[in-house]
Every structure is written in C-alpha cells, then in structure tokens.
C-alpha cells in the first residue's frame, strides 16, 4: 500500500525559503518610517510617548519600544534628554563637524552662500507652487516677527533662520526639509556672519526685510518664478558683501 502522507510532501528546493512571520515591532517600525519618509513626521519633531503610541497603534509598549530601537539604530530617531524620542535628519557629529568648518574659514561661509543661491531659489519656487494656506501663514508669522519694531536686535539671525526654515517646510519636499535641518547649524553660522558682521547696518536690515517680504508675497501669490528670483536676489546680496569685504581687505593690505 502506498504511503499517501509521504507522497504528499513537496520536494525540497533551496531557491524557495520559508517566509518568516513578521513581528509586530517590525510593522510598527515600518509605519513610523512611512511617516518620516512622507514628511508627516518632520526633522526635530518629537514623537508621542511610548504609551500614547501603543494606544494609538493598538500594540503593546514592548513592540513600540523595540520599533523605536530599530529606528534609533538606523539613525532616523534619537532619544531626547529628559525622556522621549525625536526625528533627526543627520548625525550630530556630522552637523558639528560641518559647522566647525564653516566657522573656522570665511571662504567656507562664502561657498555655503553660493550653494544656498541654488537650493533656496528652488525651494522658494516649490513653496510658491505647493504651500498650503497654513504654511503661508507660518511664513507670514516669521516675517511679522522680523518686522516687529520691539524685537531685540540680538535675534536678527535667529529670526532669519526661522523665515528660511518656514519656506523650506512649505516647499513640500521631505528630502529638502531633512537637508535643511541637517544644515541648520551651518545656516545659523552663515546668517550670524551676515547679519552681525557683513551686513549689520540699519540700511542692511531694511533691505533684508524688503527682500523677505518680496519672497513671502510671491509665495502667497503662488508665483514660482518671482519667488525664485526674489530668493536669488536675497542670497546674492550676501555674496556681493563677501566680494566687497575681500576687496576692502586687499586694499588695506596693499596700503
């Protein structure tokens, strides 16, 4: 009599491997990664606590904790001092190293400004084409803070960064937002030098405010070409100041 049980067993073929059952933690990590990749969780944004995440995703806290450990290991999130987790864009060591390079050499500041001309003009165009009403309001708020007559001068660079980051957010590009977040320290160094050393007069302040207003108005009016032109003119003003500074320094050394 034939053994039917044995004959029903499939032949072994090494090309076809058993598919492992997916752990809940892996699924949680995938879902959180989707939120980061689609920009629904932004660089620097703090995630809800483990308990809240577990309740909202209907899983155990153990699964949430394991998922967060996966994302930490891959460099997408980091622990927050005092508890919690936030999204990161790049490693802190990389940011610090780049910021040191920019801080130590004025030519590096100028090079960064040249790079900004290209990428921020693109971002301004994108913002004009893609910004939501809420994002346009955020840009307007950043502009209002800058134009507040009672705003202390020591916040000039900080307010400038806030405006450019609001435009970056409105560009609706996850890659660009992470790029700008990763370069945040360098942007601050760049604008510190512009606003307090190269272009520190009241006339310079008025010009920058006018330029920022033109950028905002073009984005508000959904005019991508005008937004890109306004941003280009704004960043190129700093480049012109570098050239003027270098010429003055050379003339001083010659005399």
Q: What's the predicted TM-score (pTM) here?
A: 0.69
Q: What is the DSSP track for the chain?
A: ---HHHHTSPPP-TTSPPPPPPPHHHHHHHHHHHHHHTTSS-TTPBPPPHHHHHHHHTS-HHHHHHHHHHHHHTTSEEEPTTS-EEE-SS-HHHHHHHHHHHHH-HHHHHHHHHHHHHHHHHHHHHHHHH--HHHHHHHHHHHHHHH-TTS-GGGHHHHHHHHHHHHHHHT--HHHHHHHHHTHHHHHHHHHHIIIIIS-SHHHHHHHHHHHHHHHHHHHTT-HHHHHHHHHHHHHHHHHHHHHHHHHHHHHHH-
- pLDDT tier for residue 136 given thresholds of 50, 70 and 90: very high
Q: How far is CA 31 from CA 43, 74, 79, 223, in A?
A: 16, 15, 19, 35
Gap between the Cα atoms of 189 and 186, Å rounded: 5
**pLDDT at residue 93, rounded to an integer:** 47
- Domain spans of the chain? 24-87, 92-254
Q: Which CATH class is domain 24-87?
A: mainly alpha
Gap between the Cα atoms of 19 and 27, Å rounded: 15
Superfamily designation of domain 92-254: GntR ligand-binding domain-like (1.20.120.530)
- pLDDT tier for residue 251 given thresholds of 50, 70 and 90: very low
- pLDDT tier for residue 174 given thresholds of 50, 70 and 90: confident
Listed residue (92, 75, 86, 73) closest to 43, CA to CA: 86
CB atoms within 10 A of CB 236: 15
Listed residue (168, 186, 191) closest to 237, CA to CA: 191
**pLDDT at residue 69, rounded to an integer:** 92
Average pLDDT over residues 173-186: 81
> Please, what is the end-to-end C-alpha distance for the chain in angstroms?
111
- pLDDT tier for residue 74 given thresholds of 50, 70 and 90: confident
Between 134 and 175, residue with greater pLDDT: 134
pLDDT in tens, 195-246: 888 888 889 889 999 999 999 999 999 999 999 999 999 999 888 887 776 5
Residue 126 has pLDDT above 90, yes or no: yes
- pLDDT tier for residue 18 given thresholds of 50, 70 and 90: low
- In a 10 Å sphere around its CB, with 0-12 CB exposed, 13-18 middle and 19+ buried, how is residue 49 labelled? middle
């Amino acid at each position: 009599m034939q053994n039917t049980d044995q004959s029903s067993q499939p032949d072994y073929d090494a090309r076809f491997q058993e598919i492992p059952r997916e752990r809940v933690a892996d699924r949680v990590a995938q879902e959180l990664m989707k939120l980061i990749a689609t920009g629904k969780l932004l660089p620097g944004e703090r995630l809800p606590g483990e308990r809240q995440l577990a309740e909202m995703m209907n899983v155990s806290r153990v699964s949430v904790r394991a998922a967060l450990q996966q994302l930490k290991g891959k460099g997408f999130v980091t622990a927050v001092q005092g508890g919690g987790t936030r999204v990161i864009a790049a490693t802190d060591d990389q940011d610090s190293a780049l910021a040191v390079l920019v801080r130590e050499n004025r030519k590096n500041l100028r090079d960064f400004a040249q790079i900004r001309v290209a990428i921020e003009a693109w971002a301004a165009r994108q913002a004009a084409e893609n910004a939501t009403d809420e994002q346009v309001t955020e840009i307007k708020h950043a502009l209002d803070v800058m134009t507040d007559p009672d705003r202390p001068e020591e916040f000039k660079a900080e307010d400038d960064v806030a405006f450019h980051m609001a435009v970056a957010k409105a560009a609706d590009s996850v890659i660009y937002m992470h790029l700008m977040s990763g370069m945040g320290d360098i942007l601050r160094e760049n604008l510190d030098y512009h606003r307090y050393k190269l272009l520190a007069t009241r006339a310079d302040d008025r010009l920058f405010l006018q330029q920022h207003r033109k950028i905002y108005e073009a984005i508000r009016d959904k005019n991508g070409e005008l937004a890109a032109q306004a941003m280009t003119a704004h960043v190129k003003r700093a480049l012109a100041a570098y050239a003027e500074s270098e010429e003055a320094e050379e003339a001083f050394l010659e005399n």
